[in-house]
Amino acid sequence: MAKQDGDKTNEKAGLGFGTKNYHKNTRFLNRDGTINIRRLDGDFLGRIDIYHSLITMSWKRFILMVLSGYFSANILFASLYYWAGPHNFGNLSHKDSLHEFLDLFFFSAQTLTTVGYGYIYPQGTLVSSIAAIESMTGLLTFALATGVLYGRFSRPQAHIRYSKHCVIAPYEGITAFMFRMANTTQNELIETQVKVILAYNDLKTNQREFEILPLEIDKISFMALSWTIVHPIDEKSPIYNYTKEDLIKADAEFLILFNAVNDTYSDIVYSRTSYKGHELIMNAKFKPLPRNQRGNKVTVDLRKLDEIELLG
């Protein structure tokens, strides 16, 4: 996979992953685009980035965390109220311990959210102090939660779906490395660009090499339909005459870097993914995506994005 003499198309790429050959299967980019690097500097608290975690975690996990925090806070303060004594609350039901705790739990929910219906009220300095602390905690917590929620909604993202597999298919008398991608949302991505970088272990030099693969088209004005990325495998290609087994042996990884302008936010958005050798299908091509036209609009079925056809 050495670079050809005098060839300026196979450029070396500096990605910041170093050149060390790890002698085993290594993946720098996960399929979801996250970088597969863990940094240790001895400062555990310094590595914690709560805002980044809250912004980037999945919606399911975020909602579950908010609900868990809400119920945990109410259980905590209800327990403090119960410890301080249910007799210190007016209009509290005293049927049994369970009803007392439930009433204190709902009183906590009203205090935390500053709703304050007023049916149950604290009597005495201790429980009033706990209620004051809970009220302040609720104001600060919900202000932070509102900011994080706004940040999640307003954060520009490129909702790009990549095909599960990459393929090597016939292409203009030779073969080509291909994968397919599409925008899954209704907003428009303009000035879209993609870069494909091959990372592999050079078994002769015992180093990790990174080379930019020249593409048939690396930039389009509108990403309205699906986009099949094509790297022609000619004599200048670093994977010329390589089989799937050769790529796996060299621990090859095709790193995909995508960026575009999101016209909704008028901001640049990014997306990343990668393919390993075992995710490559030889002698196959992608099936055309079904398209239907109704009036002036064309409907593209992205559910068929992963469908491929084996070629003999």
Query: What CA–CA distances, in Å, run from 247 to 43, 175, 278, 280?
Result: 38, 16, 9, 9
Could you tell me which of 45, 87, 31 has the C-alpha nearest to residue 104? 87
pLDDT tens digits for 255-300? 999 999 988 878 889 999 999 999 999 999 999 888 787 778 888 8
For residues 150 and 193, state if they share a domain. Answer: no
Determine the structural domain holding residue 60 and report its residue range: 46-154
* Model pLDDT, residue 23: 58
The larger pLDDT score, comparing residue 51 to residue 181, is at 181
Tell whether 169 and 131 lie within a shared domain: no
Same domain, 133 and 174: no
Q: What is the pLDDT of residue 14?
A: 64
pTM value?
A: 0.74
**Using 50, 70 and 90 to split pLDDT, how confident is the model at 20?**
low
Q: What is the pLDDT of residue 292?
A: 81
Tell whether the torsion through CA atoms of 222, 223, 227 and 230 is positive or negative: positive
DSSP state of 101: H
Mean pLDDT of the chain: 86
Q: Are residues 179 and 272 in the same domain?
A: yes
Number of domains making up the chain: 2
Mean predicted confidence (pLDDT) in 71-87: 95
The residue among 154, 186, 204 that closes a domain is 154
Q: What is the mean pLDDT of residues 161-185?
A: 92
Residue 224's pLDDT is what? 83
Whether 240 and 288 map to the same domain: the answer is yes
Q: Is residue 8 part of a domain?
A: no
Closest CA to 194 of 220, 171, 169, 156: 220
As a whole number, mean pLDDT of residues 56-62 equals: 89
Domain boundary among 104, 128, 154: 154
Sign of the torsion angle spanned by Cα atoms 250, 181, 190, 53: negative
pLDDT beyond 90 at 40: no
Answer whether residue 175 is part of any domain.
yes
Q: What is the pLDDT of residues 209-234, one digit of tens each?
A: 889 999 999 999 988 888 999 999 99
* Section 120-137 average pLDDT: 93
Q: State whether 135 and 174 are in the same domain.
A: no
On whether both 149 and 54 belong to a single domain, the answer is: yes
Q: What is the pLDDT of residue 75?
A: 96
Which of 11 and 147 is assigned the larger pLDDT?
147
